Amino acid sequence: MSAQLLDGTAIGRAMREDLRPQAAALAARGRRPGLGVLLVGDDPASAVYVRSKTQACEELGLHHETTLLPATATTAEVLAVVERYNAQDEIHGVLVQTPLPAQVDSERVLRSVDPAKDVDGFHPENVGLLVQKRPRFVACTPAGIMEMLRRSGIAVAGKRAVVIGRSDIVGKPMALLLLHADATVTMCHSRTRDLAAVAREADILVAAIGRAGLVRAEHVKPGAVVVDVGMNRVTTAEEARDLLEPARQEVFARKGTALVGDVHFPSVRAVASAITPVPGGVGPLTIAQLMANTVAAASAR
């Protein structure tokens, strides 16, 4: 068996296209959706993410502003930008790119975002609404994954779901969304005993723990749907031989680097019924969902 590839690039593109009429209608009524982005420091990965998000805004005709602060920025300087975005009528969504530098109080910054503009879904008020099954804004990666499952015809109700990883950004909201969709959910983490045995119970397995190739064939029940949220960089030939399929090993030999997920793709693809690739799986869904949240925020205001 070779798993169906869940093409996040194509699904994300379809999600964005579905938003285009709504965004245009809002703009025609003088309420063009707007996203304010704050990037602190010069982390290359964060800069790439921000560019992808602003490019998506451009494609949909959304207004966007990006504020860049140096890596030495203080909490007060970061808060000042957030408060400015909170007060701007043309900004409907506020995105603080994480991680923030160590000297910045990240929790305080995320709490300072207006909950009605919290398109990342990180504010405690929005997290609480999600817990109560009254969501306003949901973290973009888990929400995008649920939309991918829906558009791919993968039923969730009555299924056993296992989420590996308990972060506030992915693991916890992912578990809640699956629970609200009537799955029976188990959350796993670094202290879970016999992880492979627990993971093998899953009809839907979501890997979001941040360790390259952790989930292997022995973790996966035959026929399971596997969603790989991980994004890890391979830089050694040894890692490449272990984690990459032959075609990608050839690319690695030329470039000296490659992106892989938390799932050992070569072995798991032979066991699962469907799987997300890395890259081209979950990443585009996250950006599409951010656009959806921004349009929803503009509509609500």
Radius of gyration of the chain (CA): 19
Which regions of 88-238 does DSSP assign to beta strands (E)?
93-96, 160-164, 184-188, 204-207, 225-228, 232-234
User: For this structure, is 120 an active site residue?
Assistant: yes
Alpha helices in the chain (DSSP H): 8-28, 44-60, 75-87, 106-112, 124-131, 140-151, 171-180, 195-199, 237-243, 246-255, 265-268, 282-300
Buried b (16+ CB within 10 A) or exposed e, 193-209: eebeebbbebbbbbbbb
- Of 114, 118, 120, 262, which one is the catalytic site residue? 120
Contact between 282 and 12 under an 8 Å Cβ cutoff? The reply is no
Q: Residue 181 is encoded by which pair of tokens? A: 């969709």
- Find the length of the chain: 301
Give the residue among 301, 296, 295, 288 at the shortest CA–CA distance from 146. 288
**Residues near 88 by beta carbon (within 8 Å), at least 6 away in sequence:** 34, 36
Torsion angle, alpha carbons of 68, 142, 127, 113, to 10: 10
70 to 77, 78, 235: CA distances (angstroms) = 10, 10, 28
* Catalytic residue IDs: 53, 97, 120
